[in-house]
Amino acid sequence: MQSALQSLRQEVSAPGLYLDDPADFAGFATDWTRKFSGQPSLVARPRSTEEVAALLAACQRHRIPVVPQGGNTGMVGGSVPRGGEVVISLSRMNRIEALDKVAGTVQVQAGVVLQQLNDALAADHLFFPVDLGGRGSCQIGGMIATNAGGLRVLRYGHVRDSLRGIEAVLADGTVVSNLNKLKKNNTGLDLKHLFVGSEGILGIITRAVFEIVPKPPSVETALLALTDRKQLPDLLQAARAAFRGLSSLEFVVRPAVDLLREVDPAVREPFDKVYPLYAVIEEETGTGPVAREEFAERLEALTQNGIIADAIVAESEAQTRELWGYRERPPEAITKTGLTHKFDVTVPQGEIPKFLDDVERLASRFPGFRIFLYGHLGDGNVHVNVVQGKMLAREAFYAAEKELSDEIYGQVSALAGSISAEHGIGIMKRDYLGHSRSAAEIAMMRRIKNALDPLGIMNPGVIFAAQK
């Protein structure tokens, strides 16, 4: 391997392309969850598509395995090395290249960070509507490679739904470029979709064109209190009917709020009473006091119908951030608390109450485990976090992973759900892919992988086990 790496460095070089000191590899070796970690043999940070192409062509020639890395906020272990792979980080390919206000599109390099994109678009009252908690770090390439979803899927869909064009480099260094801006373009197989959710196993995404939308004139937000999780399906139905501009409907089960207050004592008790369940609702509305009054009236109707017990309407930017915090801040609080088994699953929305009951019952079989539940009510996406308690040894915690996974993915399958809602498969879920995809589908995925990456250098072991 050392001589292959030496050849790579001789054949492809540019100032600052490689990190020379292994002491600088740390940020590229461990992912956001701290659960997945592995030492890279080398870290390369190209600045252009041409450099990515030269790197991949040389890696294929010398059979050097590669892990593409974006913002490293992935949750399933696909963004960090496992067996001394070379990490190709897109972080220096971070230019917003072209804004076409007439077409309503933006062209970006893959290393642009989501927040950076939306900050730049804000000057023109535009925005890219896929939004998620990792917005300060996750990159466009990583978001495409995982088909990121997030907080506004209900209204705007996943990354796939906004993607118009793509440029990617295949394992042999071939650049496949179709930076299409057109909405209507039915010209044969739509190849960009191959890369959506491909998790780095088919090639490296280097550029993309996205549809962007005008920023709504105003957005109203409220935190809702519920007394019974059985009301969640009713809340979704009622909100869809009454809130025409509904853009987000999220839920948090109480222990996650307790944890937030435990980790940060400055977090306030939101209502004058403790409730077992909360929801955040967001609606895009017109401007002015009338819009807020009408929003509050719609919430009042939900209270009258007994669907919610109470509501706080945000009156300012600061309060909006505070209310969103009850839903957005638990993932970070969890990471600070202990090792976590994370399950990102979808079940039909009407089954959410039963599923929450089932996983709580399951977790209670494991003494010393804490369970935190929240998710995207609008699209049935539940995030199950099983966290290591203080007194529990690391080994005992990890030992339970298989049993928990078998049970949870078994329940998801029984409810006709999906074992991955938005985080992908990575290495964490590859043994369970068959719960959600048929044998014929997995065989077809492998054929596509083998056709585009015959030597298997691209992110080996991700989505399915590497072939010998």
Ligand X SMILES: Cc1cc2nc3c(=O)[nH]c(=O)nc-3n(C[C@H](O)[C@H](O)[C@H](O)COP(=O)(O)OP(=O)(O)OC[C@H]3O[C@@H](n4cnc5c(N)ncnc54)[C@H](O)[C@@H]3O)c2cc1C
Q: Rule CB under 6 A: which residues touch ligand X? A: 32, 67-75, 78-79, 90, 110, 132-134, 138-139, 141-143, 145-146, 148-150, 199-200, 204-205, 331, 422-423, 459, 462
Q: Closest approach of Cβ 67 to ligand X, in Å?
A: 6
Residue closer to ligand X (CB basis): 307 or 425: 425
Residue closer to ligand X (CB basis): 106 or 302: 106
Q: Closest approach of Cβ 455 to ligand X, in Å?
A: 17
Q: Which residues partner with 44 through β-bridges?
A: 18, 88
At 443, list the tokens.
């065989």
Residue closer to ligand X (CB basis): 147 or 320: 147
Q: Closest approach of Cβ 22 to ligand X, in Å?
A: 20
Residue closer to ligand X (CB basis): 202 or 363: 202
Residue closer to ligand X (CB basis): 48 or 218: 48
Residue closer to ligand X (CB basis): 291 or 322: 322
Residue closer to ligand X (CB basis): 203 or 255: 203
Q: Closest approach of Cβ 145 to ligand X, in Å?
A: 3
Measured CA to CA in angstroms, residue 426 lies from 79, 109, 201, 416, 464 at distances of 8, 23, 10, 21, 8
Residue closer to ligand X (CB basis): 411 or 459: 459
Residue closer to ligand X (CB basis): 181 or 329: 329
Q: Closest approach of Cβ 88 to ligand X, in Å?
A: 8
Q: Closest approach of Cβ 96 to ligand X, in Å?
A: 16
Residue closer to ligand X (CB basis): 110 or 121: 110
Q: Closest approach of Cβ 59 to ligand X, in Å?
A: 14
Q: Closest approach of Cβ 247 to ligand X, in Å?
A: 14
Residue nearest to ligand X (CB): 142
CB atoms within 10 A of CB 4: 16
User: Which residue carries 């900050």 as its tokens?
Assistant: 119
Residue closer to ligand X (CB basis): 270 or 426: 426
Instruction: Compute the distance between CA of residue 139 and CA of residue 311 in angstroms, rounded to an integer.
Output: 35
Q: Closest approach of Cβ 205 to ligand X, in Å?
A: 4
Q: Closest approach of Cβ 106 to ligand X, in Å?
A: 17
3-state secondary structure the chain: CHHHHHHHHHHCCCCCCECCCHHHHHHHHECCCCCCECCCCEEECCCCHHHHHHHHHHHHHCCCCEEEECCCCCCCCCCCCCCCCEEEECCCCCCEEEEECCCCEEEEECCCEHHHHHHHHHCCCEECCCCCCCCCCCEHHHHHHCCCCCCCHHHHCCHHHHEEEEEEEECCCCEEEECCCCCCCCCCCCCHHHHCCCCCCCEEEEEEEEECEECCCEEEEEEEEECCHHHHHHHHHHHHHHCCCEEEEEEEEHHHHHHHHHHCCCCCCCCCCCCCEEEEEEEEECCCHHHHHHHHHHHHHHHHCCCCCEEEECCCHHHHHHHHHHHHCHHHHHHHHCCEEEEEEECCHHHHHHHHHHHHHHHCCCCCEEEEEEEEHHHCEEEEEEEECCCCCHHHHHHCHHHHHHHHHHHHHHCCCECCCCCCCCCCCHHHHHHHCCHHHHHHHHHHHHHHCCCCCECCCCCCCCCC
Q: Closest approach of Cβ 451 to ligand X, in Å?
A: 17
